[in-house]
Amino acid sequence: MDQRISRRDFLNATLLASGSVLLKSVSPQRLLAAQQSGAPTGVESQDDWTGYGGVGDYANSNGNTKEIMDAGHQIREGQFDSLPQNLVDTGEIYDCVVVGGGISGLAAALFFQRLSGKSSTCLVLDNHAIFGGEAKRNEFIVDGHRLISHQGSAFFPVPFPHSFIGRFYDSIGLKNPRLDYQTWASGSREMRLSTTPYGSNPTTNGFYFGAKFGQQPGMWLLDPWGRKLEGAPIPAQARADLLKWSQGDSRSKFRRPEYFGDDISRHLDTMTLEDHFVERYGISRETIRTYLSPVEGGGYGLGPDALSAYTDYAADTLHPMDDSDETGAQMFPGGNTGFARLITKRLLPDSIAGPHTLEAVCRNTVNFAALDQSGSPARIRLRSTAVWVKHEGDPAKSKFVTVAYARAGKVYRVKARTVVMAGGSWTTRHIVRDLPASHQEAYAQFYRSPCMVANVAVRNWRFLYKLGLTGCRWFEGVGNYMEVRK
């Protein structure tokens, strides 16, 4: 792992699929070689930045591709601060335009149609090659087996019965949010597997220590927390610090936030997560940065030295859930793409082949031609980056909003009676041209950080099985953990 590797080679050589593991597979390098030789791989040729995207519906939308990145930079650099002379007016007028085709945008379109009537028209604009926003998946074929896994948004909690979320799940076709998972089919000794990549079983988890820790070859420490890190090749102080952290051993009387916006959460939001760990557990910054940064900051693209301390409690405060196997975290094969696909199928019944069942919607292919059909009350227009949103005249009296979007090198204009901004605040503050100063100031307080997720298909996981491991963590080189999941 000490050799230098380019982003292109790293992404191309690591099949973007999941923390899934296989009993056998095709080497990623063989797929890469086939792609470079012009042999059919099931996807369009990609640029160096975008890299290999797998096969299937999401092959050309593996994260923020170069096309997406370039369009975002053009907005940031002011290239759309005035509309071009060759603007194409489509002549379309919609009752509602939703900017952003992620789960929130798709849900907004569905609610709009339900509340305003099916005859009302709604257009969803999304800059990616497929709807879903952060909820996308990767697919690839390995020795004839189709593997599906999440790119970003991963799992969901089981909602309380008869709650708003519970009723919404039911309305889009998720009648039973407690999903059924595969069972152990091998004649070999069964190992307990998690339903998500984040729910490791402590007794079958291990730490790996390599050259950074003076281990050549490397060494495994099985059940590290159960063993209280005995045998780990780390300093005694680091061991003591990590045990304090893992056991929640506070040196001060700490109270968790009770609800969003209470005094505790606001206080936590005034300090970094690193400062909070030092204060709460009495552990060193070196321990945090060496062992905990990837764990605590991985999903944000930043480390504890920059993150708000509240991030460690926000999810549980906003969405408390039972962590039991029966009612805890649930996960579709492709992460929360399941929700995006269910909503889209409900909004546009012909958008995904087959019946409106959970299995069909998750497995069958998207009918892209059905997303943006003339005459349809609801439409989803992909590869369309919104660059200009502004009321016609005085916002208090205006009847229409102009929405301009860039697509394939041209800028188009539509009109809307209502607009829902369902994208990121870092973009909204640039493209809503008459955004109030108070909103501009509020949006300026939010920061965007990139996060690269590389899902690796391990060719052979028998070595883990023989060690008694279903998951592992390491503290050097690329990445930081792996988990076998159902």
Q: What is the pLDDT of residues 404-423, one digit of tens each?
A: 999 999 999 999 999 999 99
Residue pLDDT, tens place only, 207-252: 999 999 999 999 999 999 999 999 999 999 999 999 999 988 777 7
Domain hosting residue 250, numbered range: 234-318
Contact 139, 54 (CB under 8 A): yes
- Tell whether the model's pLDDT for residue 7 goes beyond 60: no
Residue 437 is encoded by which pair of tokens? 């100063």
Closest CA to 345 of 331, 327, 363: 363
In a domain, 180, yes or no: no
Residue 187: phi, psi to the nearest 5?
-80, -10
> What is residue 11's predicted lDDT score, i.e. its pLDDT?
32
Contact 62, 151 (CB under 8 A): yes
- Tell whether the model's pLDDT for residue 362 goes beyond 60: yes
Residue 287: phi, psi to the nearest 5?
-65, -45
Give the mean pLDDT of 377-400: 96
Counting every residue written for the chain, the total comes to 486
In a domain, 274, yes or no: yes
> What are residue 485's DSSP bridge partners?
194
Contact 129, 136 (CB under 8 A): no
> What is residue 53's predicted lDDT score, i.e. its pLDDT?
87
Contact 388, 415 (CB under 8 A): no
User: Are 308 and 388 members of one domain?
Assistant: no
Burial of 357 (0-12, 13-18, 19+ CB in 10 A): middle
Residue 251 is encoded by which pair of tokens? 């040196």
Cis amide linkage into residue 304, ω under 30° from 0: no
d(CA 383, CA 159): 33
Of 443, 465, 480, the residue that ends a domain is: 443
> What is residue 146's predicted lDDT score, i.e. its pLDDT?
87
Helix (H) or strand (E) holding 411: strand 410-416
Higher pLDDT, 20 or 236: 236
User: Are 312 and 347 members of one domain?
Assistant: no
In a domain, 373, yes or no: yes
- Tell whether the model's pLDDT for residue 58 goes beyond 90: yes
Residue pLDDT, tens place only, 145-158: 888 889 888 888 88
d(CA 126, CA 99): 7
- Tell whether the model's pLDDT for residue 27 goes beyond 50: no
If pLDDT is split at 50, 70 and 90, which confidence band does 25 have? very low
Percent of the chain clearing pLDDT 70 (strictly above): 88
User: Are 372 and 438 members of one domain?
Assistant: yes
In a domain, 142, yes or no: no
From 33-47, 168-182, 273-287, 430-444, the region with the lowest mean pLDDT: 33-47
If pLDDT is split at 50, 70 and 90, which confidence band does 324 have? low
Q: For residue 152, what are the contacts with CB-CB under 8 A and spacing of at least 6?
A: 63, 133, 134, 135, 136, 335, 453
Contact 422, 99 (CB under 8 A): yes
In a domain, 347, yes or no: yes
Contact 422, 102 (CB under 8 A): yes
d(CA 65, CA 59): 11
Residue pLDDT, tens place only, 306-320: 999 999 999 888 876
User: Are 385 and 294 members of one domain?
Assistant: no
In a domain, 55, yes or no: no
Q: For residue 104, what are the contacts with CB-CB under 8 A and spacing of at least 6?
A: 133, 422
The domain that holds 374 is classified in CATH as 3.50.50.60
User: Are 307 and 394 members of one domain?
Assistant: no
Give the mean pLDDT of 73-95: 95
253-274 in b/e form (b: 16+ CB < 10 A) is eeeebeeeeeebbeebeeebbb
In a domain, 149, yes or no: no
Q: Report the alpha-carbon angle 412-418-424, nearest 5.
A: 70
> What is residue 251's predicted lDDT score, i.e. its pLDDT?
74
Widest pairwise Cα distance in the chain: 72
pTM here is 0.85
> What is residue 323's predicted lDDT score, i.e. its pLDDT?
61
d(CA 114, CA 110): 6
> What is residue 455's predicted lDDT score, i.e. its pLDDT?
76
Q: How many CB atoms lie within 10 A of CB 123?
A: 25
> What is residue 319's predicted lDDT score, i.e. its pLDDT?
73
Q: How many domains does the chain contain in total?
A: 2
> What is residue 34's predicted lDDT score, i.e. its pLDDT?
40
300-305: long-range contacts, CB 8 A cutoff, minimum separation 24: 300/449, 300/451, 301/449, 301/450, 301/451, 302/449, 303/274, 304/272, 304/273, 304/274, 304/277, 305/272, 305/273, 305/274
Closest CA to 347 of 180, 157, 98, 63: 98
Helices (H), 85-185: 103-116, 164-171
- Tell whether the model's pLDDT for residue 430 goes beyond 50: yes
If pLDDT is split at 50, 70 and 90, which confidence band does 322 have? low
User: Are 307 and 365 members of one domain?
Assistant: no
In a domain, 406, yes or no: yes
Percent of the chain clearing pLDDT 90 (strictly above): 58
User: Are 349 and 422 members of one domain?
Assistant: yes
d(CA 287, CA 440): 38
